[in-house]
């Protein structure tokens, strides 16, 4: 089955900084607490962790992303050796919905429904704003108790009227997205289309997401392989990673360097900056790499990896111990604080870590 290019979700993953979160407790309500008397001067505007949802653009998940990956990202290098992109699907998961067994198509696992429409399932989708795509519609809901967005992109609707997507916040490094559409461009009823996508998502998360009562697929890797972590900080936070914070860059635009902790990489444009430190190891884990004295700090696991969030003035950084004895720290800031700096720092770390795990 040919997957039409406009609907291939890889474009949304690497080309936009995807998705959204539901209304609820923004990160600011879980204030990053640190020792009193640190001397950090608050910014003139919002604090870097004072995030206000903007549903028209899609918003971040406000919950900690501290859960194991249920299923690897679509880009995991190990799929071919484990039966392909549908190998995670247990027998009977889509009974009554699918007209036949799910099959790999492009970067997704897909099936034809009993009504003759199409469903595409993609793992590795992050739950964050759309920076580059226009939304045709967006709503928020829950799937088996997990936050979810129900939406579609304008370009999809123009080509495949009535298509609908559901993206679920698995609170891990691998979210799941379900797309319902008609390959023959038949006009679909949006309500019915979204209902099929929601039911498909419900079956997936109750089968595979621990927070919804599911079981992690056995071959799923949760940590980067030490050999996959390069010595160069810009090799970890490359153009693809930086794109998720609105900082795409060309060769030569990132500033490489060294400081006493390790390799550095700074990308700055349009009033935004991402500054990365990657320690060379060994023996340079989180305990050996202290947060700035002025920072307010809280523990922030990234998937199953230990980490922390550091807020100091206008900046927010997220540090994670990639492999034992090596730390990745990414600090995000703007000329003018908007309150989502911590969310973007976390997003950059999550994408960087997720891409390293894909090489495991």
Residue 106, pLDDT score: 87
Q: Report the alpha-carbon distance of residue 240 to residue 91 in Å, rounded.
A: 35
Beta bridge partners of 130: none
Is residue 24 over pLDDT 60? no
Same domain, 190 and 273: no
Same domain, 271 and 159: no
Residue 79, pLDDT score: 97
Q: Where are the alpha helices (DSSP H) in 37-174?
A: 154-159
Same domain, 72 and 202: yes
Same domain, 236 and 291: yes
Mean pLDDT of 332-336: 92
Tens digits of residue pLDDT in 224-245: 999 999 999 999 999 999 988 8
The last residue of a domain, from among 161, 186, 212: 212
Confidence band of 256 (pLDDT split at 50, 70, 90): very high
Same domain, 112 and 12: yes
Q: Report the alpha-carbon distance of residue 270 to residue 19 in Å, rounded.
A: 22
Same domain, 306 and 336: yes
Q: Report the alpha-carbon distance of residue 224 to residue 324 in Å, rounded.
A: 10
Q: Report the alpha-carbon distance of residue 49 to residue 343 in Å, rounded.
A: 7
Q: Report the alpha-carbon distance of residue 357 to residue 95 in Å, rounded.
A: 32
Tell me if 46 is assigned to some domain: no
Same domain, 196 and 248: no
CATH number of the domain encompassing residue 288: 3.40.1000.20
Tell me which residue range forms the domain holding 129: 5-20+60-212
Same domain, 186 and 271: no
| C-alpha to C-alpha distances, 282 to 10, 54, 186, 231, 357, nearest whole angstrom | 35, 42, 58, 12, 19
Is residue 275 over pLDDT 70? yes
Residue 54, pLDDT score: 54
**Would strands 108-112 and 146-153 be described as parallel, antiparallel, or unpaired?**
unpaired
Confidence band of 339 (pLDDT split at 50, 70, 90): confident
Same domain, 119 and 254: no
Confidence band of 52 (pLDDT split at 50, 70, 90): low
What's the domain count of the chain?
2
| C-alpha to C-alpha distances, 171 to 83, 216, 252, 255, 350, nearest whole angstrom | 26, 13, 34, 32, 11
Residue 259, pLDDT score: 94
Same domain, 256 and 194: no
Mean pLDDT of 330-349: 91
* Measured CA angle at 332 (ends 327, 337), to 5 deg: 150
Same domain, 258 and 205: no
Q: Please, what is the average pLDDT of the chain?
A: 85
Tell me, what DSSP letter sits at residue 344?
A: H
Residue 288 dihedral angles phi and psi, to the nearest 5°? -90, -10
Is residue 40 over pLDDT 60? no
The last residue of a domain, from among 185, 212, 239: 212
Residue 51, pLDDT score: 64
Residue 169, pLDDT score: 92
Same domain, 145 and 182: yes
Confidence band of 60 (pLDDT split at 50, 70, 90): low
* Measured CA angle at 247 (ends 131, 252), to 5 deg: 150
Residue 76, pLDDT score: 97
Tell me if 52 is assigned to some domain: no
Q: Report the alpha-carbon distance of residue 266 to residue 128 in Å, rounded.
A: 22
Confidence band of 49 (pLDDT split at 50, 70, 90): confident
Share of the chain above pLDDT 90, in %: 66
Residue 9, pLDDT score: 35
Least confident of 9-13, 78-82, 202-206, 327-331: 9-13
Contact 102, 120 (CB under 8 A): no
Tens digits of residue pLDDT in 137-189: 988 899 999 999 899 989 989 999 999 999 999 999 999 999 999 999 999 99
Tell me if 129 is assigned to some domain: yes
């Amino acid at each position: 089955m040919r997957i039409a290019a406009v609907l291939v979700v890889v474009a949304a993953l690497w080309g936009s900084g995807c998705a959204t979160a539901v209304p609820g407790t923004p990160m600011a309500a879980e204030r990053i607490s640190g020792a009193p008397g640190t001397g950090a001067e608050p910014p003139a505007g919002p604090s870097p962790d004072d995030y206000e949802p903007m549903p028209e653009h899609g918003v971040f998940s406000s919950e900690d992303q501290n859960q194991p990956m249920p299923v690897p990202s679509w880009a995991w290098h190990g799929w071919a050796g484990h039966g392909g992109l549908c190998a995670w699907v247990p027998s009977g998961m889509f009974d009554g919905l699918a007209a036949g067994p799910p099959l790999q198509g492009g970067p997704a696992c897909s099936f034809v429904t009993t009504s003759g429409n199409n469903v595409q399932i993609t793992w590795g989708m992050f739950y964050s704003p759309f920076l580059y795509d226009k939304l045709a519609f967006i709503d928020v809901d829950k799937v088996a108790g997990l936050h979810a967005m129900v939406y579609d992109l304008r370009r999809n609707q123009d080509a495949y009227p009535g298509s609908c997507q559901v993206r679920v916040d698995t609170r891990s490094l691998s979210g799941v997205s379900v797309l319902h559409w008609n390959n023959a461009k038949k006009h679909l009823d949006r309500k019915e289309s979204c209902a099929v996508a929601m039911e498909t998502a419900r079956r997936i998360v109750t089968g595979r997401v621990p927070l919804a009562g599911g079981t992690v697929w056995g071959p799923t890797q949760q940590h980067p392989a030490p050999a996959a972590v390069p010595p160069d900080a810009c090799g970890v936070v490359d153009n693809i990673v930086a794109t998720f914070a609105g900082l795409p860059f060309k060769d030569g635009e990132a500033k490489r360097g060294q400081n006493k902790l390790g390799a550095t990489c700074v990308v700055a444009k349009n009033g935004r900056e991402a500054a990365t430190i990657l320690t060379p190891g060994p023996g340079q884990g989180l305990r050996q790499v202290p947060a700035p004295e002025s920072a307010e700090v809280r523990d922030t696991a990234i998937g199953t990896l230990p980490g922390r969030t550091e807020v100091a003035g206008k900046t927010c950084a997220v540090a994670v111990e990639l492999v034992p004895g090596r730390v990745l720290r990414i600090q995000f800031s703007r000329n003018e604080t908007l309150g989502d700096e911590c969310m973007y720092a976390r997003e950059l770390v999550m994408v960087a870590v997720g891409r390293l795990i894909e090489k495991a």
